Structure 1
Amino acid sequence: MITLYDFAWKHSPNAGWNSHVWKTRYVLNYKGLEYKTIFIEYPDVEATIKKIGAKPTGTQPNGQPWYTLPAIVDDSTGVALAESADIAEYLDKTYPDTPRAIPEGSHALQAAFRDAYYPKLSAFFPFLVPCMEQVMNPPSAKHFRAEYEAIFGATLEDVFPKGDARVEAWKKWTDTISSIDAWMRPEDEWIMGDKPSFADFIIAGFVLSAKTFFGEDSQEWKDITTINNGRWGRMAKNLEKYSQSK
């Protein structure tokens, strides 16, 4: 049995919401692996990661190790990991008879995609980060607010764009995701060709986060699912069967 660690939230205690964790959930479900999910509060992440024996995933602005989710523990091997790309690589190697998240021979291309894609997400951060705090339970929300207001040097309310600034910031985000659409041919359904891969799971996780935060009836969700001839709406729909929590 594999254990997936995910962030708890106040709207549905048994379902995921975090775009980064969704990447790993997509991989687990796509590969058809048995797993269970443990939901934890934001302030408990560091202690949990240390307890299971996984390494930090980065460095905080103050130079201290940064511990975050997703994280997994594989009971069959005793391995504990806490970085979505590393988890995908590990699961492909450990369970070779399941569909690959990173197709054979595409490791470099997948890494290049991540390096090109992740910086573009900064256009979405002004919308994403304040919304994350709003869906958290009080202990997580307090911890998250303190951490990210220190990073931004501003309150979360000031980070979230309003009025004309919101219109401009939203256009910047849609232009950014449209630049990703330009990497693909109109007939391409998936980044790597005829099958989904980790690169698609990365995009779908952030698209799905918009649905979670803004709501299925929101104009923002309608914009994302209809721009670029509906590419991102189709992707989210086609991957829906792999997004369910266990």
Structure 2
Amino acid sequence: MAPSPQIVLYDLKLVDAPGLIWSPNTCKTRYALNYKGIPYKTVWLTYPEVHSEIPKLTKKDGRPTVPVIVDLLHDSTVVQDSWEIVKYLEEVYPDTPKLFNTNSIGAHLFFQDYCTQKLLFAVVFRLVLSNMIDLAGEHKEWFIKTREAFLGMSIKEFIGDDPTVHAKALTQNLEPIGKILKTYPYISGQQIGWSDIVFTSSLRMLVAFRPDSFGALVLDDKKAGKQFQEWWNRMDKYMQLEPPCYSV
């Protein structure tokens, strides 16, 4: 019998792709929970539901976001944002595998910012945004309107006319990471750390929406493809849903 869930994870779903693991920020928390072996269940929310349900949990004003966790084992504590969540899990579940130590937190935060700025937002998001729109279903127009408001420009302007520009940028930004993986089995060194989960989560969006590009631009990268493939295989067991009986 599967253990009872200790954590409730609020994740983001696309109407026409239920159960698809794709959101980089929620992926960070999902993989951290999987790596630490903490039982959890998922509550899937559409974009409009994020705006209606998350403020009820966080009791905060401002733009509602996921991931959010509710820790059923510790007074139903609510934690929002993947960085705050991993810090919380490290502190409250000290007997689970560590993702950083007190001497490496700054380095992991720097790498998280690097992945967000140089890989995720600047490149991957541009490569997959049209695919995301196609899977938004009944929320397609709402999705376009809110994304354009967030971006400050039209979707067409953001994506641009030449996708090869984004492909080239991805290859360039992967190069320094590939150099690390030529020396160490993980980005964090000899064992998995938060940096590995951040990088995995950034690529997860590409895997979900453009698997062809993931294969061609990452796994078959001429400079470090072999290293990326071996690292991806080592990380693969943490790229999973929780047992189906947990999902609601």
Query: Which TM-score applies when normalising by structure 2?
Result: 0.84
Equivalent residue, structure 1, for 2:91: 93
Equivalent residue, structure 1, for 2:245: none
In structure 1, distance between residues paired with 2:197 and 2:91:
18
Q: Does 1:16 align with 2:21?
A: yes
In structure 1, distance between residues paired with 2:130 and 2:96:
37
Q: Is the 8 A contact 1:70 1:84 kept in 2?
A: yes
Q: Is the 8 A contact 2:24 2:204 kept in 1?
A: yes
> Structure 1, unaligned stretches of length 5 or more?
57-64
1:135 to 1:237, Cα distance in 2 relative to 1, 3 A: farther
Whichever residue aligns with residue 111 of structure 1, its letter is L
Equivalent residue, structure 2, for 1:224: 218
Written as runs of structure 1 = structure 2, the 5 A alignment for 1:165-176 is: 165-176=162-173
Equivalent residue, structure 2, for 1:80: 78
How far has the Cα of 1:105 moved from its partner? 2.5
Equivalent residue, structure 2, for 1:118: 116
Equivalent residue, structure 1, for 2:107: 109
How far has the Cα of 1:155 moved from its partner? 3.4
In structure 2, distance between residues paired with 1:128 and 1:54:
32
> Structure 2, unaligned stretches of length 5 or more?
1-5, 243-248
Whichever residue aligns with residue 109 of structure 2, its letter is A
How far has the Cα of 1:158 moved from its partner? 4.3
How far has the Cα of 1:55 moved from its partner? 4.7
Deviations 1:42-63 (A, max 9, x none): 011132221112657xxxxxxx
Deviations 1:53-83 (A, max 9, x none): 2657xxxxxxxx2221111111122211111
1:201 to 1:185, Cα distance in 2 relative to 1, 3 A: closer
Q: Percent identity?
A: 25
Whichever residue aligns with residue 14 of structure 2, its letter is W
How far has the Cα of 1:178 moved from its partner? 1.7
Equivalent residue, structure 1, for 2:12: 7
RMSD (Å) for aligned C-alpha atoms: 2.1
Equivalent residue, structure 2, for 1:147: 146
Deviations 1:188-231 (A, max 9, x none): 1212211111111111112122111013xx24432211212333
Q: Is the 8 A contact 1:5 1:70 kept in 2?
A: yes
- Point out the more displaced range, 69-78 or 226-235: 226-235
1:214 to 1:38, Cα distance in 2 relative to 1, 3 A: same
Written as runs of structure 1 = structure 2, the 5 A alignment for 1:171-182 is: 171-182=168-179
3-state secondary structure, aligned to 2:26: helix
Q: Is the 8 A contact 1:6 1:21 kept in 2?
A: yes
- Point out the more displaced range, 232-241 or 79-88: 232-241
1:136 to 1:107, Cα distance in 2 relative to 1, 3 A: same
Equivalent residue, structure 2, for 1:25: 30
1:117 to 1:206, Cα distance in 2 relative to 1, 3 A: closer
Match of 1:52 among 57, 76, 79: 57
- Point out the more displaced range, 11-20 or 88-97: 11-20
In structure 1, distance between residues paired with 2:63 and 2:177:
29
Query: Which TM-score applies when normalising by structure 1?
Result: 0.85
How far has the Cα of 1:119 moved from its partner? 1.8
Written as runs of structure 1 = structure 2, the 5 A alignment for 1:30-49 is: 30-49=35-54
Q: How many residues align?
A: 232
